Structure 1
Amino acid sequence: MNRRNFIENIALSGGALATASAFVPAAAKAETKEIVNGKTKLNADVVIAGGGLGGCASAFAALRNNLSVILTEETDWIGGQLSQQGVPPDEHIWIETHGATQLYRDFRNGVRDYYKRNYPLTDEAKARKNLNPGDGSVSKLCHEPRVAVAVLNNMFAPYISTGKLTLLLEHKITSASVAGNQVKALEAVNLRSNSKLILSAPYFVDATEMGDLLPMTGTEFVTGAEAKSETNELHAPEKANPENNQAFTVCFAIDYVPGENHVIEKPKDYDFWKNFVPKMTKPWSGKLLDLSYSNPKTLEPKVLGFHPEGVLMGDTLNLWNYRKIISKDNFKKGTYPGDITIVNWPQNDYFLGNLIGASEKDFKKYFDGGKQLSLSLLYWLQTEAPRPDGGKGWPGIRLRKDIMGTEDGLAKYPYIRESRRIKAVFTIKEEHVGAENRALVTGKKENTAAEFYDSVGVGYYHIDVHPSTAGNNYIDFGSLPFQIPLGALLPQRMENLLPANKNIGTTHITNGCYRLHPVEWSIGESVGLLIKYALDKKVIPREVRAKNNLLKEFQGFITKQGIETQWPKA
């Protein structure tokens, strides 16, 4: 790698020196290396495919317990939802004190410390314990994607330096070698050089965004929506549809410079999207590019507000404030000309193509389609969005390409809400976590979800299922603070492949609350610890759940490492 590319890679990863370690040639960092059929073979204790939050958390758990790890990532940024997909964290209201792992909260504090060390914050903002750099309303911690990358890289730096972690950015898993119920190796291709690596380990983790390893390894899985006759879920459809997956979104960042003209060139598909009316089984409120949309909970028309100077609009949500990642008022005067916000709204959910199982050609086609929708939304905001003064458009809205670290200004990867899901030892259904369904099952109003004897984590989010590729409108309703059962992390047959993303044993419905940032992290961290425990005990992971003495010991082990397995009793 030449010096220019080396410096550019550091800059794209947030400027932290530790990031440089991630770009050392792969073979120099592997625990052991050999040549097999002309290909370099790397060996470690664990191979993790996917550098999102679940993959990173799995790696941290394994590394701090002295296991060697190979971690692959398709893009040049680790962090998944938080970074390459550009989505500020969706979290529950108790996140500052409980309802997540200690390491996840340490990461969040690391983000705050990064701003306090490196940014010209106001004295008041710097003194704020729970600093929210963007003051976005979606989360208590809205921040720039590259800061997440920098903090994660800093956390990984000592493991990279000591050779315990091999971080393979811009590497994609293309095939697997399997014998019976065990994965033997994965093949990865370097997306820059097209060179190939063989990755071998006793354990493999599928932390990819769409459960890519499941079909490669022959691991049994499901996709799309199950029928009510299968799951007996209150909100499940009458007929199953494996092709019915949630919309994905191509996020982007914007700021606003009054008096300037930053209108982009008219997108090639703008006329299509300007007039597009979603065809749903339950009607949308009108055109997609509008400030009216379907209320997720009632499906009645609901009006949203938009003003790029953050003006409060009474009870109407100003979309500008929703996912705001920089609030200029938190920084010394003159640092920013205005606020910066992320656009991940109902108007740029793309549901005209299904990414799950798509060919490489179709994946690109749909991703490009999502990009055209997002650019069309941007152009509409700049030229036609209604203003409070009766005018149209805000030409001072500026696409912030630097925020996403891409030439086109759009996220490096689609924000994917739904994945292939393993056929698990135990499947989480709506009756376990949905407030209304649980009340029907128990005959009383509950304030907590089903209690799982094999809990290895906790989480919370309402059940939020976005419009889908089969034409379903929103499915959005209340859930209960829930646990993560070990059984949902265990494939029914495969012995050394574990899920660590949205590919666990949920249904189409319950994925809607298990798919968010802190839950994905909790899943990943528990999977990393499960691998350590199984290796030490010389058992396969299913035995840990099947044998009560092992399960209790494992739960004690993870609790001591900062994993919460229960919600506080009311």
Structure 2
Amino acid sequence: MKRRNFIELVSSGGGMLAAGSLLPSSALAESIEKAGSPTAARARELKADVVVAGGGLGGFAAALASLRNGLTVILTEETDWIGGQITQQGVPPDEHQWIETHGAPQSYRDYRNAVRDYYRKYYPLTDEARARKNLNPGDGSVSRICHEPRVALAVLMDTLAPYLSSGKLTLLLEHKVTAADVTGDKVRALKVLNRRSGNEVVLTAPYFVDATELGDLLPLTKTEFVTGTESKKETGELHAPEVGNPLNNQAFTMCYAIDYVKGENHVIDKPKEYSFWRNFVPKMTPAWSGRMLDLSYSNPRTLEPKALGFHPEGIKTNADLNLWNYRKIINKNNFNPGTYPGDITIVNWPQNDYVLGNIVEVSDKEFNKHVDRAKQQSLSLLYWLQTEAPRPDGGQGWAGLRLRNDIMGTEDGLAKYPYVREARRIKALFTVLEEHVGAENRAMITGKKTGNTSAEFYDSVGVGYYHIDLHPSSMGVNYVDFGSLPFQIPLGSLIPQRVENLLPANKNIGTTHITNGCFRLHPVEWSIGEAVGMLVAHSLKNNVIPRAVREDKQKLAEFQRVVRAQGVETQWPQS
């Protein structure tokens, strides 16, 4: 008997499915049962116009843009929270200085304003804070809108509510993609596992979007991809190393939230790996400044030792930066007296960047091992802050620091998922290089001063900006941090070289290790997802594949008009 793949078995079991419906498939169940799966009787099939795997900001934006343009969508997410880095990873937005007026899609700015409105509607703000047009709930220095993960989640879910209610959107939380069915250059279906129940579901659609945090669909669908660092010979980039290394990926971080209750003792149990992390000195090239658990680090630009300050009451220290204020998501002074005993801040600092292992392109066992150790590192940092960190008064430790597991929605108080800075990246029709966006490299190419503009892309479908910010890596490379220029997002970087109906919508687009450093931030990820969602809708409407949209000048111009009409900027304003 001819062996059939799982989509053939599903197709033989019944007729067409309505979007959002759930239908048992006896044929699929039989195939799973023969393979020895205990979930045979619970197999299901779902069908939509597009399947978006990964509910981070890119996946959310791709789903929203698709829904807004009349498509039915299945959105999957490994954890029980959508939002990616802004929610389940606990990272307040990293944004550029023009974000309030331009440099991101209108839908992203709508999200930011909805966050402010949420605080105004439900929180006991002071009159002064409530009247502030650009309210920043935490007044953290990293962003103009530092806010709680749960508020971000509420706003995102409210945005999706009408699509969920109408059946246009099927949201599958705690579902992980485990397999793909591919024929030639097309993906036919994905198999996902319900992590809570153990049920398996088959998802079919004309288009699939990989918005997972690590680009998980790329190997499953046999989509060509790269990882790690390219060599200078490969890319010609000014800051690329002489020798590339596919295992050299940026550190990830297990973030957490803390507040400070003066006069109380909230010291956690001593972490089992505390003695290791207390004395850990990263082996870096160039060298790290000293021990990881210390109020100093390597200056990202110069790599010279740089002092950091810490005072949980926000009091100014001798250092330029008080870490407490850096990612502060609640400033108690923005709320009526007595609402909060102290400020709340997110710990995503140099001291809890995990550099002892790579989680890109590894087994689940290896992934879990490094995540567990990263959690020990983060808890060790907290214990050190509570018991040994030097205080301005000459004492040691701040016993009143309290781990806020309620803020992160987890039992252990740590984020639901690692804060991922780097993933698998597609081999794209066009790859963004440092010469396109890096200030110094671009100046060398153009012969102009570093204040010139980034490369103009004829196929631009969005814009973004952040300095090129590469954290210490899993292979011992210290910070690589330097200036970039406000850039465009080329459509070619969103289209794989071969596969026709799979598109990236996270940190997995056509960048290099270097240029990922400015394309990986919140508004850029959202912009990528927005463009991809509209591209899927446009391709289905006009019966063309994404590659054909880019290759035909008329089709490309038409798509760019659609993009701009929906609030997406494709060029930066002329200065």
TM-score range, shorter-chain basis? over 0.9
Tell me the equivalent position of 2:12: none
Q: Report matched runs for 1:488-567 at 5 Å.
A: 488-567=493-572
Distance change in 2, residues 1:441/1:305 (3 Å) = same
Tell me the equivalent position of 2:362: 358
Deviations 1:42-80 (A, max 9, x none): 000000000000000000000011100000000000000
Q: What is the distance in 1 between the residues matched to 2:448 and 2:572?
A: 19
Tell me the equivalent position of 1:103: 107
Question: Which of 418, 440, 443 in structure 2 is aligned with 1:414?
Answer: 418
Q: Does 1:376 align with 2:380?
A: yes
Question: Which of 317, 323, 329 in structure 1 is aligned with 2:327?
Answer: 323
Q: Report matched runs for 1:60-79 at 5 Å.
A: 60-79=64-83
Tell me the equivalent position of 2:177: 173
Question: Which of 179, 187, 202 in structure 1 is aligned with 2:206?
Answer: 202
State the one-letter code of the partner of 2:28: N
Q: How far did residue 204 of structure 1 move?
A: 0.1
SS at match of 1:37: helix
Q: What is the distance in 2 between the residues matched to 1:553 and 1:125?
A: 44
Q: Note the residue ranges of structure 1 that are not aligned, 5 or more in a row.
A: 1-26
Q: What is the distance in 2 between the residues matched to 1:195 and 1:416?
A: 27
Question: Which of 63, 68, 76 in structure 2 is aligned with 1:59?
Answer: 63
Q: How far did residue 447 of structure 1 move?
A: 2.9
Tell me the equivalent position of 1:481: 486
Kept in 2, the 8 Å contact 1:49–1:205? The answer is yes
Q: Report matched runs for 1:216-295 at 5 Å.
A: 216-295=220-299
Q: How far did residue 313 of structure 1 move?
A: 2.7
Q: How far did residue 357 of structure 1 move?
A: 1.3
SS at match of 1:518: helix
Kept in 2, the 8 Å contact 1:101–1:563? The answer is yes
User: Identity, % of aligned pairs?
Assistant: 72
Distance change in 2, residues 1:559/1:288 (3 Å) = same
Tell me the equivalent position of 1:37: 28
Distance change in 2, residues 1:337/1:29 (3 Å) = farther
Q: What is the distance in 2 between the residues matched to 1:561 and 1:401?
A: 38
Q: Does 1:49 align with 2:53?
A: yes
Tell me the equivalent position of 1:309: 313
Q: How far did residue 29 of structure 1 move?
A: 7.5
Kept in 1, the 8 Å contact 2:309–2:318? The answer is no
State the one-letter code of the partner of 1:497: L
Deviations 1:514-535 (A, max 9, x none): 0000000000000000001111
Deviations 1:239-275 (A, max 9, x none): 0100000000000000001111100000000000000
Q: What is the distance in 2 between the residues matched to 1:232 and 1:198?
A: 43
State the one-letter code of the partner of 1:560: A
SS at match of 1:204: strand
Q: How far did residue 552 of structure 1 move?
A: 0.4
Q: How far did residue 31 of structure 1 move?
A: 4.7
State the one-letter code of the partner of 2:54: G
Question: Which of 138, 150, 170 in structure 2 is aligned with 1:146?
Answer: 150
Kept in 2, the 8 Å contact 1:31–1:44? The answer is no
State the one-letter code of the partner of 1:463: I
Q: What is the distance in 2 between the residues matched to 1:362 and 1:245?
A: 15
SS at match of 2:188: strand
Q: What is the distance in 2 between the residues matched to 1:31 and 1:468?
A: 44
Q: Report matched runs for 1:395-474 at 5 Å.
A: 395-445=399-449, 446-474=451-479
Q: Does 1:344 align with 2:348?
A: yes
Q: How far did residue 33 of structure 1 move?
A: 4.0
State the one-letter code of the partner of 2:302: T
Distance change in 2, residues 1:302/1:402 (3 Å) = same
Distance change in 2, residues 1:477/1:157 (3 Å) = same
Kept in 1, the 8 Å contact 2:19–2:47? The answer is no
Kept in 1, the 8 Å contact 2:301–2:479? The answer is yes
Kept in 2, the 8 Å contact 1:29–1:160? The answer is no
Q: Report matched runs for 1:80-99 at 5 Å.
A: 80-99=84-103
Q: How far did residue 281 of structure 1 move?
A: 1.6
Deviations 1:483-534 (A, max 9, x none): 0000000000000000000000000000000000000000000000000111
SS at match of 1:483: strand
Tell me the equivalent position of 1:5: none
State the one-letter code of the partner of 1:83: T
Q: What is the distance in 2 between the residues matched to 1:291 and 1:144?
A: 25
SS at match of 2:102: coil
Q: How far did residue 182 of structure 1 move?
A: 0.2
Q: How far did residue 351 of structure 1 move?
A: 1.1
- More off after superposition, 415-424 vs 353-362: 353-362
State the one-letter code of the partner of 1:202: P
Deviations 1:312-350 (A, max 9, x none): 236610000000000000000000000000000000000
Q: What is the distance in 1 between the residues matched to 2:215 and 2:69?
A: 26
State the one-letter code of the partner of 2:142: V
Q: What is the distance in 2 between the residues matched to 1:54 and 1:450?
A: 23
State the one-letter code of the partner of 1:30: G
Tell me the equivalent position of 2:336: 332
Kept in 2, the 8 Å contact 1:424–1:487? The answer is yes
State the one-letter code of the partner of 1:472: V
State the one-letter code of the partner of 2:114: G
Matched residue count: 544
SS at match of 2:163: helix
SS at match of 1:210: coil
Question: Which of 105, 121, 126 in structure 2 is aligned with 1:122?
Answer: 126
Kept in 2, the 8 Å contact 1:34–1:42? The answer is no
Kept in 2, the 8 Å contact 1:383–1:395? The answer is yes
- RMSD across aligned positions (CA): 1.1
Kept in 2, the 8 Å contact 1:33–1:43? The answer is no
